[in-house]
């Protein structure tokens, strides 16, 4: 159940989308829905669901509610699910999005003048905003495409203490592995897991290596800051960002697909969006619903026979833009073998296959054999949403560090 304040914002959003977005107007017409049907706090479930595949297929103009595209800011999703989506914001919505993130960070004791050491994709590194130019909310960025050993050396040379260390799970795990091998690292106040959520075993490993707590944030480019753990609470539950989000289980079950609405982005509306994640909910049907567990966010780097690791960012960067490939998945079940499963596009040729093999040979330094398979139907595994990279070797590799040694 949503609150009356959320319902007020939701009605405004749905009416705006219906009047100004050709996609939503047609989507609602086909599904026999009209904004006038939103009368009570229980009516939000009547809004037709939007899926990622739909947003991928339509043009930007079909969903935008403004024709002033040149005045907008944009950001593209990482493509971890195999589907990239470009999201647009007005200047005001961009600042609201920033505030939703800052609110969560401030709750977790980030100071206004603290420096955050962040492992980031260069695409996500923006020019300093006005606050950062004034010395507030500063970031010290390290390129995730650089070898993790290089980033380790740069960080340890520059810092003796880090107030906040931030990165995606695979990058944090790679840095922790490097620190474990080297035997030293600057002291860390708190670690923020960015975008995706660490599973319990690997979270425990990172906390052990850096001797501090990891705080998980549940966010996405499409929806913004959805929910976050709270350092002031003893449990690991996620508080939903209710002023800006509506989150509920698709079928009303405790463990269910998440349906999410971003309440503040009127420019590129995200309404009743099936994000692809499966969550464990508590207090379903109450206004204080919260998230206990986020499934499917697992580590996805590649391990090479020489014990070095390849960042998932590198793998996606090298294969995502190959023409003739609609979707792909990289699997690693053996240390010296990489399997690439391909869904062919219209322009796929023999040369495309050779290019894929060449790229894989490049990022594995020629240490792995490459197999190509083709499919028209990618299958998800248990609660996990589809991921571009799935490496059993990486999980086994980490377990050798996390499990107690015998003998």
Torsion, Cα 244 248 250 251, to 10 degrees, reads: -160
With b for 16 or more beta-carbon neighbours within 10 A and e for fewer, the 263-279 pattern comes to bbbbbbbbbbbbbbbbb
Q: For position 406, what pLDDT does the model report? A: 37
Do 249 and 279 form a contact (C-beta atoms < 8 A)? yes
Do 273 and 261 form a contact (C-beta atoms < 8 A)? yes
Residues 13-25: pLDDT tens digits? 999 999 999 999 9
Do 179 and 209 form a contact (C-beta atoms < 8 A)? yes
- pTM equals 0.77
Strand order in the sheet with 325-334: 369-374, 337-344, 325-334, 389-391
Min mean pLDDT across 15-24, 77-86, 88-97, 197-206 is at 77-86
Structure confidence at residue 49 as a pLDDT band (50, 70, 90): very high
| Tokens, residue 392 | 């059993």
Backbone angles phi, psi at 298, to 5 degrees: -120, 165
Q: What is the overall mean pLDDT for the chain?
A: 87
CA angle at 267 for the pair 261 and 273, rounded to the nearest 5° = 25
Listed in order, strand segments (DSSP E) in 352-397 are 369-374, 389-391
Residues 262-296: pLDDT tens digits? 999 999 999 999 988 888 999 888 888 989 888 75
User: Partners of 193 in the beta sheet?
Assistant: 167, 216
Instruction: Tell me how far apart the alpha carbons of residues 322 and 327 are, in angstroms, rounded to a whole number.
Output: 10
Cβ-count burial of 374 within 10 angstroms (0-12 exposed, 13-18 middle, 19+ buried)? exposed
The three-class DSSP label of residue 32 is coil
User: Partners of 216 in the beta sheet?
Assistant: 193
Q: For position 43, what pLDDT does the model report? A: 92
Q: Which domains does the chain have, with CATH numbers?
A: 4-89+236-295 (3.40.50.12780), 94-220 (3.40.50), 302-402 (3.30.300.30)
Running DSSP on this structure, what letter comes out for residue 347? T
């Amino acid at each position: 159940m949503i609150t009356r304040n959320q319902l007020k914002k939701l009605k405004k959003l749905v009416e705006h989308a219906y009047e100004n977005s050709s996609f939503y107007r047609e989507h609602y017409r086909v599904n026999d829905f009209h904004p006038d049907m939103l009368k009570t706090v229980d009516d939000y479930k009547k809004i037709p669901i939007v899926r990622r595949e739909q947003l991928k297929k339509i043009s930007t103009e079909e969903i935008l509610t403004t024709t002033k595209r040149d005045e907008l800011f944009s950001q593209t999703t990482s493509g971890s699910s195999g589907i990239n989506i470009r999201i647009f914001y007005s200047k005001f919505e961009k600042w609201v999005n920033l505030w939703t993130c800052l609110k969560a960070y401030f709750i977790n004791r980030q100071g206004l003048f603290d420096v955050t050491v962040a492992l980031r994709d260069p695409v996500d590194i923006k020019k300093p905003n006005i606050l950062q130019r004034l010395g507030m909310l500063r970031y010290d960025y390290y390129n995730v495409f650089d070898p993790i050993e290089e980033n380790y050396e740069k960080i340890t040379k520059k810092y003796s203490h880090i107030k906040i260390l931030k990165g995606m799970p695979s990058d944090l795990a790679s840095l922790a592995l490097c620190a474990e091998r080297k035997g030293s690292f600057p002291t860390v106040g708190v670690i923020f897991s960015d975008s995706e959520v660490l599973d319990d075993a690997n979270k425990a490993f990172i906390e052990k290596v850096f001797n501090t707590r990891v705080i998980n944030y549940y966010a996405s480019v499409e929806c913004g800051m959805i929910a976050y753990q709270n350092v002031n609470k003893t449990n690991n539950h996620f508080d939903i960002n209710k002023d800006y989000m509506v989150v509920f289980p698709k079928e009303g079950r405790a463990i269910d697909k998440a349906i999410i609405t971003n309440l503040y982005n009127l420019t590129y509306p995200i309404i009743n969006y099936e994000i692809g994640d499966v969550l464990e909910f508590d207090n379903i049907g109450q206004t204080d619903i919260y998230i206990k567990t986020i499934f499917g966010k697992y580590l996805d780097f590649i391990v090479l026979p020489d014990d070095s690791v390849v960042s998932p960012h590198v793998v996606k960067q090298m294969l995502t833009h190959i023409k003739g490939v609609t979707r792909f998945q990289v699997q690693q079940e053996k240390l010296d073998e990489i399997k690439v499963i391909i869904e062919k596009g219209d322009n796929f040729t023999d040369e495309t296959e050779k290019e894929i093999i060449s790229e894989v040979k490049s990022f594995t330094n020629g240490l792995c054999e490459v197999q190509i398979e083709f499919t028209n139907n990618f299958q998800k595994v248990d609660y996990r949403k589809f991921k571009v990279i799935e490496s059993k070797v990486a999980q086994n590799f980490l377990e050798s560090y996390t499990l107690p040694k015998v003998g």
